[in-house]
């Protein structure tokens, strides 16, 4: 009885989340904003990817950031220093992932007409964020080489659900046992389509290819921007 | 209404887990087994710590392992190769943490009279495992240096709740921006008591200090072994 009730409730909660996510997506789309859900383990380099991307885009795009963390505001300070137009910190307390309702609330703090790209840095976690749509048009998954080439086998869902996969900290490969062939084979078994970008957010190597891809996605959103009156986030 | 119902249910589920965890703990204690809940991000080196510890203990202790992963059985194969007496793989499907009921079920596969130490490798996750007791006597948290010195600030609960904190991959510090002072200060603000072991599971550096501490804990369990008739795990 308990179990059945629990499953029903989880379904209700996820369905409610999907409704809010659809509203967020419409909101992004109507403002011509590309929203990117950045998912990875703790310490894979999500914030470094965002600051490197801001630097690489320069005046080419106006970036907003939503930072999701259990606690702290270190990353929000970092992305603002790096040149983000605006950034909002969400502290989830004990919650292991962001949800669409949190994004909806955070969007109230932004002037969306002043943004081209919105990075949403999820809580560091290779499992839970996969189940919660935030309304993003693109989901990316970062893996850092010291985490090991076997992560796609152990955490398949997140690699299967991502629109691009970024292999970070390639500068550390010489000092690890990372096996590129194993990594590529296991990712390709899960996700035949997503581009894989190898990069080092520390040295900057490989950032350009990622940014070229990102700009294409952003231009696509601009071209398909809905002409309808944007809904209010709370509406 | 929904929210209240949800909170009540979560409390019920956690209370149910705690009951099963208490039973597991009694079961470990009555068999003189030290059970260790190993928690960390994906790719921090949990399995490498276990295989290194098995090698270092040699004939000194008989080790069993429960491996928790979303999918795959790579780690179970590794620990058996390394000399574990027995190992059981739990594939959680989408579940982001182990629960006491999973451990209870897994224990049916072990001959507990043949074990001194049981490692329980949790799903790679710095958040969710903290909330679910498995009945372990000791919880440890690994952090690998490439994940960054700021992790205790961002994921405080797991560092506060651990009986020992292991800083792994210290051989990679020269190629990262890891700040030891920041790490120690932030850990100590959360947890004044837990020993912090610096080590490299790759090179073996620092393993001995950790193993000495572990053996002390194991001997304590042996000395305090309950004389009562052990309950059956299903009883």
Tokens matching residue B112: 């507990």
A-interface mutation test, from B17, B39, B42, B51, most A Cβ less than 10 A away: B42
Secondary structure tally for chain B: helices H, strands E: 8, 7
Between the two ends of chain A, the Cα-to-Cα distance in Å is 36
Determine whether the interchain pair A171/B171 forms a contact, defined as Cβ–Cβ distance below 8 Å: no
* Inter-residue contact B215 to B53 (CB < 8 Å): no
Rounded Cα gap, residues B32 and B218, in angstroms = 8
Rounded Cα gap, residues A158 and A15, in angstroms = 20
The alpha helices in B83-122, defined as continuous H runs, are 100-107
Determine whether the interchain pair B124/A157 forms a contact, defined as Cβ–Cβ distance below 8 Å: no
Please write the tens of the pLDDT for every residue from A79-134.
999 999 999 999 988 889 999 999 999 999 999 999 999 999 999 999 999 999 99
The alpha helices in B83-228, defined as continuous H runs, are 100-107, 151-154, 156-160, 180-190, 207-223
Q: Which of B229, B24, B16 is nearest to B107 (CA)?
A: B24
E strands present in chain B: 34-39, 63-69, 86-91, 117-121, 138-144, 164-168, 196-198
Stated pTM of the model: 0.88
Rounded Cα gap, residues A122 and A119, in angstroms = 9
Determine whether the interchain pair A126/B124 forms a contact, defined as Cβ–Cβ distance below 8 Å: yes
Please write the tens of the pLDDT for every residue from A65-79.
999 988 888 899 999
pLDDT in tens, chain B (235 residues): 334 444 555 566 777 899 999 999 999 999 999 999 999 999 999 999 999 999 999 998 999 999 998 888 889 999 999 999 999 999 988 889 999 999 999 999 999 999 999 999 999 999 999 999 999 999 999 999 999 999 999 999 999 999 999 999 999 999 999 999 999 999 999 999 999 999 999 999 999 999 999 999 999 999 988 554 555 554 3
**Under an 8 Å CB criterion, which residues of B touch A?**
2, 5-6, 9, 12-13, 41-44, 69-72, 74, 94-96, 123-128, 131, 144, 146-148, 150-151, 153-157, 169, 171-172, 175-177, 202
Q: Give me the residues paired with residue B37 across strands.
A: B120, B139
Tokens matching residue B48: 């490498």
Minimum CA–CA partner of B127 in chain A: A96
Query: What contacts B78, CB < 8 A, 6 or more positions away?
Result: B47, B51
* Inter-residue contact A146 to B173 (CB < 8 Å): no
User: Which residue, chain included where needed, has tokens 């999701």?
Assistant: A68
């Amino acid at each position: 009885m308990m179990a059945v009730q629990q499953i029903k409730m989880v379904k209700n909660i996820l369905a409610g989340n999907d409704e809010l996510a659809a509203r967020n997506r419409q909101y992004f789309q109507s403002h011509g904003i590309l929203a990117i859900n950045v998912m990875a383990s703790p310490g894979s380099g999500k914030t470094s990817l965002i600051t490197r991307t801001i630097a690489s885009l320069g005046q080419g795009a106006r970036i907003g950031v939503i930072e999701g963390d259990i606690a702290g505001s270190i990353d929000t300070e970092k992305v603002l220093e790096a040149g983000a137009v605006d950034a909002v910190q969400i502290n989830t307390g004990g919650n292991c992932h962001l949800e669409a309702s949190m994004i909806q609330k955070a969007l109230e703090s932004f002037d969306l007409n002043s943004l081209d790209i919105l990075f949403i840095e999820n809580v560091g976690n290779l499992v839970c964020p996969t189940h919660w749509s935030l309304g993003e048009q693109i989901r990316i998954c970062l893996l850092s080489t010291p985490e090991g080439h076997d992560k796609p086998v152990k955490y398949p869902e997140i690699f299967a659900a991502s629109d691009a996969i970024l292999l970070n900290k390639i500068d550390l490969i010489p000092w690890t046992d990372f096996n590129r062939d194993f990594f590529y084979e296991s990712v390709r078994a899960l996700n035949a389509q997503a581009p894989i970008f190898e990069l080092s957010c520390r040295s900057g190597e490989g950032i350009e290819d990622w940014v070229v891809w990102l700009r294409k996605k952003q231009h696509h959103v601009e071209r398909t921007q809905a002409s309808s009156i944007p809904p209010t986030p709370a509406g």
